Amino acid sequence: MRVFSSLTARLSILFGIVMIGTWLIACLLLVHALELHFSQQNDKDIHGKLQLTKNFLLMQNQTGYIDWLVLNRQIDDALAGHHDLFIIITDTNNKVLVYSRSSSKLNPPGLDVVAKYYQPPHISEQDDSLRSQVLNVTIGKSDSRQQVIIRVILNTQYHQFFIHEMKAWLSWFTGGLALASLFLGWIASRLGLKPLHDLARVSTSITADKLDQRLSLESTPRELHAPILSFNTMLDRLEQSFRRISEFSSDIAHELRTPVSNLMMQTQVALGKERSADDYREVLYSSLEEYERLARMISDMLFLAKSEHGLLSLQQDKLDLAQEVDDLLEFFEPLASDKHVRIMRQGNAQLWGDRLMIRRTFSNLLSNAIRHTPSNSKIYVHIGSSATEIEVSVSNPGSPIPASQLPRLFDRFYRGDSARQHQTEGTGLGLAITRSIIEAHGGSLFVTSDERLTVFTCRFPLDEAFS
């Protein structure tokens, strides 16, 4: 049914069931307690009158003569104020010797009903409102003893009427309580689920240009703090992602505009007038450089896209990191010599990884270090391992990177110094690619910078390495 698909309806019904169940248990206990109380009180009244009648009978028996009329009056006086009590004394032949009853406001049984109690000492099945007790008493002297039977009968119709009225009232009250419980459960569910409705409202109002809304924890139950915090955290991530996408779109448009503008300008200049074959060849060579730059940028962007979607295919080999770094140092030696910079390598470790990608990682870090290291300085590459990981760090002196720029240093097309936008032929994706390669190998990349050194640290987990 559709009603059970609503969480509010489920909680309301569950609340109503719990309330009615608790109330019914309380009602059953109350009715049982009342019935037990009346039963004990009735037994006590019957037993008391039974003993009182026996005492009257024994007192007259001591005089040697029992006046049944006097005894009847004594019992009548004793029954004054005790409604619905009947006392019958008979001999063993069922001859009625005493018949006394109180002035009942209800319909007391007549002799025809009481007669049912002469032989069977239990309550009649036809009229279960009557309760009785029987006591045999021996009277007379030793030479003329006889037995008489004392029967005390109590009409419990008044108590049963009270119990019946109580049950009827409780039944009506239970019906009203059921409706009230469902209504109160609905209100409680609506109030309790209000944060979820707010969550849905905020979710429906979220768009790509409106990600600044958050849910408050001040008036929400503690049970909903975790999902609300998760929702707010998700919005933070979405806002950051959309901001980065927007910045990336702007950056890529800017990066592509420059080579495209250069190509258009060179082509327009070449077409402006007749030129020699050498001039056209020079224009084509210049255009080729811009095409190569565009090709590198597109290739790097495709590489990053694959890494973000886990599509990089790694060719795992056992790598000697010292040997890999030394090969790169030999390659970068001419560039470092031109800047009067020396590169020193320390330590060694072995790692499972993709040789070309690992070389590309260290190549990006070394070229970046050489580019920003002052002349007559040294760059250090330290390779080490611990019980849990392998660490490779590239450190170089130079101008410190502001702390505000460190978190964005690995973003695409991000350059902390705007003056360096086109200082080199790089695409601005080198550090982003470096981090994606290291993360594809299960590692992480960090950077620290102060007045002395700027250090890029690569960490690989030990399960990817040879100890």
The last residue of a domain, from among 308, 324, 346: 308
User: Are residues 289 and 352 part of one domain?
Assistant: no
Give the CATH number of the domain where residue 229 resides: 1.10.287.130
**Is there a single domain that holds both residue 120 and residue 149?**
yes
- Integer angstrom CA distances of residue 206 from 18, 152, 210, 247, 464: 39, 84, 6, 20, 42
Residue 47 has pLDDT above 60, yes or no: yes
Of the three residues 286, 308, 330, the one that is the final residue of a domain is 308
- At 352 the three-state DSSP class reads strand
pLDDT in tens, 232-273: 888 888 887 777 777 667 767 767 777 788 888 888 888 888
Maximum CA extent, the chain: 167
User: Residues 297, 415: one domain?
Assistant: no
Q: pLDDT for 178-201, tens place per residue?
A: 888 888 888 877 777 777 777 777
**Is there a domain that residue 185 lies in?**
no
Q: What is the pLDDT of residues 355-412, one digit of tens each?
A: 888 998 999 999 989 988 999 999 999 999 888 889 999 999 988 888 888 887 887 7
Task: Indicate the average pLDDT of the chain.
Answer: 79
**Structural domain contains residue 202:** no
* pLDDT of 424 above 50: no
Is-contact 433 364, C-beta < 8 A?
yes
Inside any domain, residue 60:
yes
Is 50 exceeded by the pLDDT of residue 39?
Answer: yes
Residue at 186 is within a domain? no
Q: Is the pLDDT of residue 107 over 80?
A: no
Q: How many domains does the chain have?
A: 3
> What average pLDDT score do residues 45-59 get?
86
Residues 345 and 390 in one domain: yes
Residue 49, pLDDT > 90, answer no
Quick check: 105 pLDDT over 90? Answer: no
Is the same domain home to 408 and 299? no
- β-bridge partners, 147: 138
Q: What is the pTM of this model?
A: 0.50
Q: Which residues contact 189 (CB under 8 A, 6 or more apart)?
A: 7, 8, 11, 12, 15
Tokens read off for 394: 């590239």
287 and 423 housed in the same domain: no
Residue 448 and residue 458 in contact, taking contact as beta carbons nearer than 8 Å: no
User: Do 320 and 304 have their domain in common?
Assistant: no
Rounded percentage of the chain residues whose pLDDT exceeds 70: 85
Helices 321-338 and 355-371, axial angle in degrees (round to 10): 30
Give the rounded percent of residues in the chain with a pLDDT score beyond 90: 12
> Which domain, by its residues, includes 273?
222-308
Cα–Cα distances in angstroms (integers) from residue 304 to residues 116, 376, 433, in the given order: 103, 35, 6
175 CA to centre of own chain: 34
Asked if residue 255 is part of any domain, the answer here is yes
15, pLDDT greater than 60:
yes
Residue 461, domain CATH: 3.30.565.10
Domain check: are 363 and 275 in the same one? no
What's the CATH number where 125 sits? 3.30.450.20
Q: In whole angstroms, what is the distance from residue 406 CA to residue 403 CA?
A: 5
pLDDT at residue 124 greater than cutoff 60: no
State the average pLDDT over residues 35-47. 87
Q: Which two tokens stand for residue 247?
A: 């910045």
State residue 385's pLDDT score: 86
Q: Is residue 196 part of a domain?
A: no
Q: Is the pLDDT of residue 422 over 60?
A: no
Residue with tokens 């990191």: 321
- Last residue of a domain, which of 147, 165, 183? 165
Same domain, 20 and 159: yes
The per-residue pLDDT for range 310-353, each reduced to its tens digit, is: 777 778 888 899 999 999 999 999 889 998 999 999 999 988 88
Q: How confident is the model at residue 465 (pLDDT cuts 50, 70, 90)?
A: very low
- Claim to verify: residue 79 and residue 103 sit in the same structural domain: yes
Q: Are 451 and 337 members of one domain?
A: yes
Residue 453 lies in a domain: yes
Same domain, 385 and 300: no
Task: Determine the straight-line distance between the first and last CA of the chain, rounded to whole angstroms.
Answer: 62
Q: Is residue 216 part of a domain?
A: no
Side chain identity at 312, as an amino acid letter? L
Q: How far apart are CA 218 and CA 198, in angstroms?
A: 13
Residue with tokens 């080198």: 430
